[in-house]
Chain A
Amino acid sequence: MSATRQAARRPDATAASLEPIEDYFVGRFVAMASPCELLVDTDDRASAAALLRTAEREARRIEHKFSRYRPGNLVHRINHSGGRPVRVDKETALLLDYAATCHEVSDGMFDITSGALRRVWKFDGGDRVPSQAQVQEALQHVGWHRVTWADSTLTLPAAMEIDLGGVGKEYAVDHTAVLLAGQTRDAFLVNFGGDLFASGARRGGRHWGVGLDDPERTGEAVLYRIEFARGGLATSGDARRFIRHEGRRLGHILNPKTGWPVKDAPRSVTVLDRTCLQAGSLSTIAYLQGPGAREFLEQQGVEFRIV
């Protein structure tokens, strides 16, 4: 029986809900512009409710802290700092260190400053493609190597911006899991919009079942299921945001060195690793390898699925 669906559902704006399903509880709420779920393997509703409160609180905290759109918050201030240095707190510093490590191990393909390319690319399913001059201009404001990051101080040149959206959601999943692990010994699964972490086998040794949608057909029956007990799972892909160009689909993940979407990228890459952060980073880096994604992931020694 499917325990959760990884595909996005239309988010609804109601408050958190908690309902029993089979022999466990499913809590749902909306945060980080995604449907979020917490599955707790317990019969104790009060305990599940307490864990749901923790999960929702943590998801919203991270959303507010790392959102690009809230005036006055940290990321907004950084993106509007006009080249002045900004001092960041410990948590943000470690997150930036993590992003910097991803940048380094991926030879610069993973880059949180690549968001500036969004100004010239609109992934609305249409076929408008920017000119080479436009892309070159945008590339002037992309590149982690242009950023000064040291001693908890970030100096972002004017017109550049950072986007902690992807890594922030995965961090939210893992950090919520850390908090919940300190509060309960029941097995649980944290699922924030398809980035998820499962803490261990359910009672009776049963695994959690995750249904992955076919990236082609939204809303259809589950394409395949993954069953596992413990670890993080994340998917990178072009499911809903793409452009059609010269008869090909171009996914929305852009190569920060060329400024263009990754050529011949897989439709979707799903990775299973120790944590959601690691699964997410590996799936993104793999996706950016284009046709080399499969070989890349085989070298990493992780479980994965490429569609």
Chain B
Amino acid sequence: MQLTPANRTSSLRGRLGAAACLLLTAGLPSMAQGESGATTQFDATALLYGERNRANVAEPTARIARRFADGQSLSAQFGFDVITGASPSGASPSGVAQTTTSASGTVTTIPAGQIPLNSFKDSRYAADLEWQKPFLRSFLSTIGGHVSREKDYQSLGANGKLSVDLLQRRTTLTVGGGVNRDRVFPVGGIPVGLSDGSTPAGSSALSKDVSTVMLGLSQVVTRRWLVGLNATRTFERGYLSEPYKVLSVLDGTTGLPSGQWMEKRPSTRERWSVLASSVYHLTDDVLSLSYRYYRDDWRVRSHTCDARYRRELGGDRYLEPHLRYYSQSAASFFRTGLLDGAPLPEFATADYRLGGLKSVTVGATYGFRISDRPGEWTVRAEYIGQFGNGHPGATVGIQRQFDLFPTVSIGSLLVGYSVEF
């Protein structure tokens, strides 16, 4: 039997609806909490990462968080990573085998035609602390601190955020900021930029200050659809160059490298990024899309597109394929080498990560629970490929024959565990 079909909404019904809405929103527990009472959450991840012929990383992290009955929460996170292998030094390939000595004294021989690499081995420790406190029913404040340390780099940071729920909790506005005080103390001291390295280092350590402000908006559009918009501005000041990266001095005719000069980057950098994201719940599955636009005053511009589809497999298991596309345009002072005899530019870098490049990430996460055991597990395998123009137009002489941007192939495996008790 059918109920008489509905046609249109009347304003009487609308008024009742609005009044009912007010009544039912009052005292609504915040979305993050389902039940009252203190809970503890433990999360751990372990990353194994390897670039073909380049660097390898192992990175375990663990986090423990306690949420109290009044909604406050305190969390501590510890991370450790070990990186070994090599990365391009910025020098150009040569027609003959080259020998390079890295800052730590390691001597390496690069075959002819290959990009010279710096090899390294380093470990990094990091610790983060965060405290959250909800107040006045719609506000959430967060304060955090960070410290990390590796052989030649140290970072100290503090950050804070304030979120407010508006319009019956359909809209959340967030404003946040952070400051970091980093210190760089490379082996051999801070090299003088755009010099041949023979001048003794000016100082053994220099600092770098970073400040960030962020404005975020998240909006519930329908019962199934949440969208977000986020804008961030970062300002860096201090020593922003890479102390181990160089540029080759190339002969103007033959293109053969005859020496190496230290790179030099500006001492300030202003970065902007805007991120738009969407999460949509289908019958059981979830589709997440995001797009980020980035630009800075070094003339780097980038676009990042990210898509994930979480397919529920039943029995608390899911498979989530992931696709990410990234493209970036080169910094204004990026070049593949310095021409012998030409006037020195003010800034120069051959670090391929500041040049034009595209990255594609393809991967999938498998999530599951072990029956009768608490906690959720995730296993993620991803491939990242980085591509760039190996034969840019401005190259000279023999450099035209070399692939200046061999494809970077990266594989990673991430295992995660999460439990609440």
Task: Judge A-B direct contact (beta carbons within 8 Å).
Answer: yes
Residues of A within 8 A of B (CB): 90-91, 94-95, 97-98, 101-102, 104-105, 171, 174-175, 178-179, 182-183, 205, 224-226, 270, 272-275, 277-278, 281-282, 297-305
Most buried by A among B1, B13, B28: B13
The closest CB in chain B to the CB of A184 belongs to B34
Complex interface: chain B residues within 8 A of A91 (CB): 26-27
Q: 8 A–B contact pairs at CB < 8 A?
A: A98-B20, A98-B23, A225-B1, A275-B20, A278-B16, A301-B7, A301-B8, A302-B13
Q: How many Å lie between the Cα of A301 and that of B23 in the bound state?
A: 23
Please name the 4 residue pairs, one residue from A and one from B, whose CB atoms are nearest each other, closest first: A303-B3, A101-B19, A94-B23, A301-B8
The closest CB in chain B to the CB of A102 belongs to B16
The closest CB in chain A to the CB of B12 belongs to A105
Complex interface: chain B residues within 8 A of A183 (CB): 34-35
Tell whether B197 is near chain A: CB-to-CB under 8 Å: no
A197 → B minimal CB distance (Å): 11
Q: How many Å lie between the Cα of A237 and that of B127 in the bound state?
A: 65
Which B12-37 residues have C-beta < 8 A from chain A? 12-13, 15-17, 19-20, 22-24, 26-29, 31, 33-35
Tell whether B10 is near chain A: CB-to-CB under 8 Å: yes
Complex interface: chain B residues within 8 A of A302 (CB): 6, 13
Q: How many Å lie between the Cα of A175 and that of B9 in the bound state?
A: 24
Tell whether B341 is near chain A: CB-to-CB under 8 Å: no
Assess the A178–B26 pair: CB atoms within 8 A: no
Tell whether B106 is near chain A: CB-to-CB under 8 Å: no
Assess the A282–B27 pair: CB atoms within 8 A: no
Complex interface: chain B residues within 8 A of A226 (CB): 1, 3
Assess the B3–A304 pair: CB atoms within 8 A: yes
B39 → A minimal CB distance (Å): 14
A201 → B minimal CB distance (Å): 9
Complex interface: chain A residues within 8 A of B28 (CB): 178, 182
The listed residue (B8, B15, B23, B33) touching A95 by CB distance below 8 A is: B23
Residues of B within 8 A of A (CB): 1, 3-10, 12-13, 15-17, 19-20, 22-24, 26-29, 31, 33-35, 283
Assess the A105–B15 pair: CB atoms within 8 A: yes
The listed residue (A94, A104, A281) touching B26 by CB distance below 8 A is: A94
Q: How many Å lie between the Cα of A179 and that of B5 in the bound state?
A: 30
B6 → A minimal CB distance (Å): 5
The closest CB in chain B to the CB of A270 belongs to B3
Complex interface: chain A residues within 8 A of B8 (CB): 301
Assess the A174–B27 pair: CB atoms within 8 A: no
Complex interface: chain B residues within 8 A of A305 (CB): 3-4
Complex interface: chain A residues within 8 A of B17 (CB): 274-275, 278
Q: How many Å lie between the Cα of A2 and that of B31 in the bound state?
A: 34
Assess the B20–A298 pair: CB atoms within 8 A: no
Assess the A300–B34 pair: CB atoms within 8 A: no
Complex interface: chain B residues within 8 A of A299 (CB): 10
At the interface, is chain B mostly helix, strand, loop or mixed? loop
Complex interface: chain B residues within 8 A of A298 (CB): 4, 7
Assess the A303–B6 pair: CB atoms within 8 A: yes
Q: How many Å lie between the Cα of A224 and that of B27 in the bound state?
A: 37
Assess the B29–A282 pair: CB atoms within 8 A: no
Assess the A171–B10 pair: CB atoms within 8 A: no
Assess the A224–B22 pair: CB atoms within 8 A: no
Q: A91-B27, A304-B4, A305-B3 are in contact. Are A101 and B16 (CB under 8 A)?
A: yes
B40 → A minimal CB distance (Å): 19
Assess the B29–A94 pair: CB atoms within 8 A: no
The listed residue (A94, A277, A301) touching B9 by CB distance below 8 A is: A301
The closest CB in chain B to the CB of A182 belongs to B34
Complex interface: chain A residues within 8 A of B31 (CB): 182
Q: How many Å lie between the Cα of A272 and that of B6 in the bound state?
A: 10
A264 → B minimal CB distance (Å): 19
Complex interface: chain B residues within 8 A of A272 (CB): 3
Q: How many Å lie between the Cα of A16 and that of B166 in the bound state?
A: 38
Complex interface: chain A residues within 8 A of B7 (CB): 298, 301
A174 → B minimal CB distance (Å): 6
Q: How many Å lie between the Cα of A304 and that of B33 in the bound state?
A: 36
Q: How many Å lie between the Cα of A274 and that of B19 in the bound state?
A: 13
Complex interface: chain B residues within 8 A of A97 (CB): 19, 22-23
Assess the B3–A300 pair: CB atoms within 8 A: no
Assess the A94–B10 pair: CB atoms within 8 A: no
Complex interface: chain B residues within 8 A of A273 (CB): 13
Assess the B24–A178 pair: CB atoms within 8 A: yes
Complex interface: chain B residues within 8 A of A104 (CB): 15
A205 → B minimal CB distance (Å): 8
Most buried by A among B3, B10, B17: B3
B171 → A minimal CB distance (Å): 19
B281 → A minimal CB distance (Å): 10
Assess the B23–A281 pair: CB atoms within 8 A: no
The closest CB in chain A to the CB of B35 belongs to A183
Complex interface: chain A residues within 8 A of B16 (CB): 101-102, 105, 277-278, 281-282
B239 → A minimal CB distance (Å): 50
A144 → B minimal CB distance (Å): 15
Assess the B19–A98 pair: CB atoms within 8 A: yes
Assess the B26–A174 pair: CB atoms within 8 A: no
Q: How many Å lie between the Cα of A278 and that of B9 in the bound state?
A: 13
Assess the B23–A282 pair: CB atoms within 8 A: no
Q: How many Å lie between the Cα of A301 and that of B33 in the bound state?
A: 36
A147 → B minimal CB distance (Å): 17
Complex interface: chain A residues within 8 A of B5 (CB): 303
The closest CB in chain A to the CB of B30 belongs to A182
B223 → A minimal CB distance (Å): 9
The listed residue (B9, B23, B34, B35) touching A171 by CB distance below 8 A is: B23
Complex interface: chain A residues within 8 A of B22 (CB): 94, 97-98
Q: How many Å lie between the Cα of A298 and that of B13 in the bound state?
A: 12
